[in-house]
Structures are given as structure tokens and as C-alpha cells.
Homo-oligomer: A and B are copies of this chain.
Amino acid sequence: MSLHVHKYGGTSVGTAEKIQNVAKKLVDEKNTTGNDLVVVVSAMSGETNRMTELAKQMQATPSAKQMDVLLSTGEQVTISLLCMALEERGQKAVSYTGSQVKIITDDSHGKARIEDIYTDKLQADLAAGNIVVVAGFQGVTESGAITTLGRGGSDTTAVALAAALKADECRIYTDVDGVYTTDPRVEPKARRLNKITFEEMLEMASLGSKILQIRSVEFAGKYNVPLRVLSTFIDGDGTLITYEDDEMEKALISGIAFNRDEAKVTLAGVPDMPGVASAILKPIADANIEIDMIVQNVAEDQSTDFTFTVHRNDYEKTMQILQNICTQLGAKKVAGDDKIVKVSIVGVGMRSHAGIASQMFSALAGEGINIRMISTSEIKISVVVDERYLELAVRTLHESFGLSKE
């Protein structure tokens, strides 16, 4: 007999009927496997937005502390409804708010971090045959203030509970049936992965595959909690996120990620001297603009071209700041392009296989796709290409690395 933590997001519990569906799945699972089950749920979809609208009618900038008091009611509604649906099926169930569990967090309202979780009561309830239902996304400070973990934080609650309870598996039920080699809307031949490593998942998530909140994957990796992503609505095994094993090492690449939200800016002809990078990037950081890729080439005339990417929403602002810097540093000119995308290949196989980068570049060259920027990490190679080449680039790489369905 195992202990599994399940997590159902807002769309999985968005209506009374869907909550009944989740209750049915849980009772079936308990009867079939005899597993102990802890279930983490989000607010019903739409509730968070409804409450945020109310808050805006109260205060121009609603206080983060009171937003937490407000928003945490969303999951509290869901835990009570799910327990009722379970009891209606003859299944004993107990509900817990974050505060009742004592999911202790720091006091960063709206984006609190979990510091400790008390599990004694939950374990006693499990031993007594209950399904334990816990409100996701929320915690409580040592002094009793209600906190939330921020958007998507229910994933983190589930993983943290799984770690604290030493669960055998943490299952994230969502509206997709697993992690795919790439977005099936771009490449219909995309294939569901049976397994992926934590590191690869982190790269995939941060690159735009918005299935799991990054922090929850980090947490699962840190505490070695096997994490499985699967569909609430379609039966299947989903994708297991775990540590590298032999099977995974055989694959060169696990998936192709991409990001349409980037823009590229260049400060050209910057005098090549110490402190230049900092002089350029500090004003950007001070304006709360996040920088993604950075590339710097030294030219022959002792000047350098400095290129980086930002979120497309920050493009105009970034260009303005760069104009000022350009004058100050005596650089030649500022150039920019917000019609670019980033395409990345991700895979732990890169560590043990040579020639992956050259295979990527020649596959793209074969289709006449010009590479505008390159950035690499241990298990990822990213290129920036013109926006119009996105679909072609993804499909080409998907085919080239043998990711397509049989």
C-alpha cells in the first residue's frame, strides 16, 4: 500500500459536476489500489478573478495581506464541496485549510514560501481510513496570518505535502494528459513522454510549457518526490518526472520548447572595457525588467556588440533605456527586434552525446532558417530566429531528433 498525493487544479474542479467527477476518480482509486490518498485542490476556476475584481473596487492597490485573506476562501470552498461529494459516495473524508494543517510559511503575502508542514493530524486521519483533502495555494505564518503561495501555488502545496509525508508519488491532475515532446498545436506528431527528468522539466517549464509551476518542480527535485502529470478527464499514465535513469539516457533530446514572448535588443559598437556589461544591465534591472539570453561578441576594432532578450511587453521601455545608455557610453547605435522567437532543444542526453549542437544548426540551415542568437546550458541549446520561422523550426528539429510518433 502506498501513499499518493493528488492535486486537482481550478479547471478540474470548476463546476459541481467536475468536483463529482474528481470524487468518483478518488473513490475508484482508493477501492482499486487501497492507497492512502491526500488530495490538494485549487479554487474553482473563475473564483480568483471574481474576487480580484471585488478587491479592486475596494482599494486602488489591494493590500497583499488582505488579498490573502480574500483569495484563500476559494480553496476553502472547494475542500468542503469535495468532502461532501466523497461522503455522498460513502467515503470518509476530512478537510483542511492551509492554516488547519499548519502549512507554516514566511510572511511574504501573495508569494509566501513554505517553511514547515505539520503532518501528525493528517497521518492519523489517513490511518483512520479517510481521504484527506487540503486547500492548495495557502499557508499561515507562525503568528497566525493567512498567506498564499502565489498563482499556481497549489502544485507547490502538493509537492511540499508529498515531501513532508514521504509520499510514494505526487500526481498533478490537469487538463493535458502529460508532458509532450513539443506543443501538439505546432507539431501534430508530438508524442507524450513517459518520463522526463526534473532538470529537463525545469527547462521545458521555464521555456513556456506551462504545465507545472517551476517552483513545484524544483521542490520535487530537491526532496526527490516522484511527480506525475496526468489528465483529470482522460485515463492514462501521464508523464513521470523523476531522476535520470538508463532509459532516459538513451534519448538525445527529450523535447523542443519555444517562447513567443521575447524581443531582442542590441547595443552596437560599445567600447570594450571593464564594467560595460554592468553599466548596460543595471538600469534595465532597476526598471524591473527581466533579462533572458545575453550574448556579447568582441569585434576587431576593440568595440563590442551587446545583445540580450527581454519579455516582449518590456521591449519599448528597454529600447528607451538603451538610447540613454548609448549616449552615456559613447556606443554606436541601438537596434531591436520584437518579431523574434526562441526555440530550444532540451535533453539530459546532451551530456553524454557529442554533436548535438551541430545537428541542430545544420537542420535549421537545411530549411534556410537564419539563427540570430545562440545560448547554451548543460542540457539545453536555445536559438533566436525570426518569428515567421517558429513552426518550421520546431517541426524540423522534432523530426531531426527523432521525436515524432511512429
Partner-B contacts on A (CB < 8 A): 16-17, 19-20, 51, 54-55, 57-60, 62-63, 66-67, 69-70, 72-73, 76-77, 79-85, 87-88, 95, 97, 99-100, 144, 146
Name A55's contact: one of B60, B84, B100 (CB within 8 Å): B84
**Bound Cα distance from A176 to B57, whole angstroms:** 26
Chain B residues positioned under 8 Å from A51 (CB to CB): 77
Which of chain B's residues has its CB closest to A23's CB? B58
Given contacts A66-B80, A73-B73, contact A58 B95 (CB under 8 A): no
Name A80's contact: one of B17, B67, B99 (CB within 8 Å): B67
Which of chain B's residues has its CB closest to A100's CB? B144
Pair B83/A79 contact, Cβ less than 8 Å: no
**Bound Cα distance from A76 to B57, whole angstroms:** 17
Chain B residues positioned under 8 Å from A79 (CB to CB): 69
Pair B69/A88 contact, Cβ less than 8 Å: no
Name A69's contact: one of B19, B59, B80 (CB within 8 Å): B80
Pair B58/A84 contact, Cβ less than 8 Å: yes
Q: How far is the CB of A59 from chain B (nearest CB, A)?
A: 4
A-B contact list, 26 entries, CB within 8 Å: A16-B54, A16-B57, A17-B57, A51-B77, A54-B81, A55-B84, A58-B82, A58-B84, A58-B88, A59-B87, A59-B88, A63-B83, A63-B84, A66-B80, A66-B83, A66-B84, A66-B95, A67-B80, A69-B76, A69-B80, A69-B83, A70-B77, A70-B81, A72-B76, A76-B76, A99-B99
Please list the 4 inter-chain residue pairs (A to B) with the smallest Cβ-Cβ separation, ordered nearest first.
Answer: A58-B84, A16-B57, A73-B73, A70-B80
**Bound Cα distance from A58 to B81, whole angstroms:** 6
Chain B residues positioned under 8 Å from A87 (CB to CB): 59, 63, 66
**Bound Cα distance from A76 to B9, whole angstroms:** 22
Q: How far is the CB of A11 from chain B (nearest CB, A)?
A: 17
Q: How far is the CB of A125 from chain B (nearest CB, A)?
A: 12
**Bound Cα distance from A17 to B57, whole angstroms:** 8
Chain B residues positioned under 8 Å from A81 (CB to CB): 54-55, 58, 66, 70
Which of chain B's residues has its CB closest to A75's CB? B73
Q: Chain copies in the assembly?
A: 2
Pair A73/B77 contact, Cβ less than 8 Å: yes
**Bound Cα distance from A272 to B16, whole angstroms:** 58
Q: How far is the CB of A148 from chain B (nearest CB, A)?
A: 12
Residue of A81, A84, A146 ringed by the most chain B CB atoms within 10 A: A84
Which of chain B's residues has its CB closest to A140's CB? B100
Pair B59/A85 contact, Cβ less than 8 Å: yes
**Bound Cα distance from A99 to B82, whole angstroms:** 22
Pair B85/A58 contact, Cβ less than 8 Å: yes
- Extra contacts besides A70-B80, A73-B73, A76-B76 (6): CB < 8 Å: A54-B77, A66-B84, A69-B76, A69-B79, A69-B97, A70-B77
Residue of A51, A58, A70 ringed by the most chain B CB atoms within 10 A: A58
Which of chain B's residues has its CB closest to A72's CB? B76
Chain B residues positioned under 8 Å from A85 (CB to CB): 58-59
